[in-house]
Chains A and B, each alone.
Chain A
Amino acid sequence: MKEYIQGKAYVVGDNIDTDQIIPANYLVYSLSDPDERKYYGRYALSSVPEKEAGLPKGNIPFVKAGKDSSEFSIIIAGKNFGCGSSREHAPVALQIAGVEAVIAESYARIFYRNSVDGGFFIPFETPIRLIDQIATGDELRLDISSATLLNISSGKEYKLKSLGEIYGILEAGDIFEYARRSGLIKAG
């Protein structure tokens, strides 16, 4: 696992559900086909209403037209990020678009599990409402082991909640490697 993640922030509000993260009509594309897989990056977060896309100003698409990945690698979200369907296509779409970490006030549990168990990106929780303090486009630096976030653009630093019990799975890479290390999957 990396020690630091540095990148640009993309800020969204509360209750961003999996249909907004990846609309259901794109789920027919195959994740194992390298060409079709790109569509998940292209359409990531494409159903967030324009006004709320890239706060505080809005009207900032997460992925620019014609691109398959995003210039933003850290998502700052409000409450209940990832609510709705259990589709793993949602965290995968964010990963394909280039997201390395999400920092939300809280998550819907299936989305959170999927992110951790699939090793798609690191889901941090924040005790304060960062969406009011960070703007889309700010340059951020996330220190993973100390769970601290530095907003390079504003110079402010924030303490996030520690990753706790999921750290073991994130460090292993995914739930399969974790299960192997715990002796639940026999080698061979």
Chain B
Amino acid sequence: MGMTITEKILTKHSGKRAVSPGDNIWVDVDILMTHDVCGPGTIDIFKKNFGNNARVWNREGTVIIPDHYIFTKDQHAGRNIEILRGFAKEQDLPYFYDVGTSRYRGVCHVALAQEGHTRPGEVLFGTDSHTCTAGAFGEFATGIGNTDAALIMGIGKLWVKVPPTIRYVFDGEVPPYIMAKDMILTIIGKIGVEGANYMTMEFAGDGVYALSMDERMTLCNMVIEAGAKNGVISPDKKTISYVVSHTKKSFEIVENDHDARFRDITYFKSNELVPMVAKPHSPDNTAPARDLNTTKLDRCYIGSCTGGKLDDFKAAARILKGNKVVTDTYIVPATVEVADSLKKERLDNMTLLEIFTNAGARIGDPSCAACLGGPVDTFGRLNNDEVCLSTTNRNFPGRMGSKGSQVYLASPYTVAASALTGKITDPRDFL
């Protein structure tokens, strides 16, 4: 019987001949990623269970990327980074992207890809729920907690319940005002925040294959918002050319068998998609941007692993160029590489950075920043009852700071257009 991409990757990593959805199996792990919020706890549990002198199962496979609480004066946050530093030194880890050094990168999920740690056919676990982002590269990637991560550090294995796969097919070309964020919000609005609980969401169709790798990462990033275990996109030429230009390591392309079994297949006509917004306080509480055009905003925010990549800023720049924002607008590049590109990448005769500064936006340093609130001095954090339109991925109560704030989620096009009007605005008005 045929298997899906996820089933095939898990089979290969379990040493079995075949697996089926529902099987509980132990798999070999290629990469374990952790960051400053969950790294210290993971290290603690690792040492408790494997001893103070224990070594990680694989130095090359252990990637540590501080990114969450970086530019803050909070002492406790600083201490977390110290713990990571000590551990990376003790274990002699080659992939520790330390803060305050030229190694610093920024948001882990984007940095993983930019540093060549995401490769087709592999198994990647991370102590962050959005680790599913890496499914864009045709691998099995999912988030776990500290205990599971500590077990992997020690033995390089973890048990997994094999998920069934639901396929989402976007037929036909995606219109120019639609971004990956609109596509995934459309799906989540339809199936709900637990619509794909425990399952794999696979994205396919010409609408998906026309997307850049940045945009594919946005699609896979938000599968967790529908409860999914992982998201995946079968590798094509774009995937391969991205991966070979970021790593010298070899990898194996894994595709669906022609007779693979899917739990369900949902088709979308790409040309019927409209710019979508998720209203407070849930990513499935969606409505077309057009229907919310009386919602006044106090703040616009463009950043995070799902909305702070180069393609997100290219989109925002198209709308902001030559205009002035009327709402407080915060721009946070996900990584140092993205921040550098803002200085180099041009639209007509201006760099993206010039476009944003001229428009009156504030630019922050690369990190997670206000995407998850964080310490009160965090750049862009909502400290009062602000109404914010954001390119991030979550709008649960208090997610971006204060409990009294209200967060709406949308694509960089929609956020940029709304920054110019002060109300939620369909980007077609500006494109």
Which positions in A face B, CB cutoff 8 Å? 15, 17, 19-20, 23-25, 27-32, 36, 47, 49, 79-80, 83-89, 91, 106, 108-110, 113-114, 117-118, 165, 174-176, 179, 184-185
The verdict on A19 contacting B155 (CB below 8 Å), with A28-B69, A86-B145, A87-B37 known, is: no
A-B contact pairs, 18 of them (CB 8 A): A15-B193, A19-B372, A20-B396, A20-B398, A29-B76, A80-B193, A80-B197, A85-B129, A85-B372, A86-B131, A87-B37, A87-B145, A108-B197, A110-B142, A110-B144, A176-B147, A176-B151, A184-B155
B284 nearest in chain A by CB position? A15
Separation of A117 and B148 alpha carbons in the complex (Å): 7
Which of B80, B224, B374 has the most CB atoms of chain A within a 10 A radius of its CB?
B224
| B194, A88: Cβ atoms closer than 8 Å | no
Complex partner residue of A88 from B146, B193, B397, CB under 8 angstroms: B146
Which positions in B face A, CB cutoff 8 Å? 24, 26, 37-38, 40-41, 44, 49-50, 69, 74, 76-77, 79-80, 126-129, 131, 142-148, 151, 154-155, 157, 159, 193-194, 197-198, 224, 227, 229, 282, 372-376, 394, 396-399, 403
Complex partner residue of B147 from A20, A80, A84, A118, CB under 8 angstroms: A118
- Please give, as numbers and ranges, the residues of chain B lying within 8 Å of A32 by CB-CB distance: 41, 44
| A117, B229: Cβ atoms closer than 8 Å | no
The verdict on A19 contacting B399 (CB below 8 Å), with A28-B74, A28-B76, A86-B145 known, is: yes
A169 nearest in chain B by CB position? B159
| A88, B143: Cβ atoms closer than 8 Å | no
- Please give, as numbers and ranges, the residues of chain A lying within 8 Å of B155 by CB-CB distance: 179, 184-185
- Please give, as numbers and ranges, the residues of chain B lying within 8 Å of A106 by CB-CB distance: 194, 197
| A84, B394: Cβ atoms closer than 8 Å | yes
| A28, B80: Cβ atoms closer than 8 Å | yes
The verdict on A19 contacting B147 (CB below 8 Å), with A84-B129, A86-B127 known, is: no
| A117, B145: Cβ atoms closer than 8 Å | yes
Separation of A28 and B77 alpha carbons in the complex (Å): 5
| B40, A30: Cβ atoms closer than 8 Å | yes
Separation of A144 and B144 alpha carbons in the complex (Å): 26
The verdict on A24 contacting B227 (CB below 8 Å), with A80-B193, A89-B41, A176-B151 known, is: no
Separation of A91 and B38 alpha carbons in the complex (Å): 13
Complex partner residue of A113 from B126, B144, B399, CB under 8 angstroms: B144
17 further A-B pairs in the complex, CB-CB below 8 A; given A19-B397, A110-B142: A23-B373, A25-B374, A28-B79, A28-B80, A32-B44, A49-B397, A80-B193, A80-B194, A80-B197, A85-B129, A86-B127, A86-B128, A87-B38, A106-B194, A179-B151, A184-B26, A184-B157
B42 nearest in chain A by CB position? A88
| B227, A83: Cβ atoms closer than 8 Å | yes
| B148, A23: Cβ atoms closer than 8 Å | no
Separation of A25 and B143 alpha carbons in the complex (Å): 20
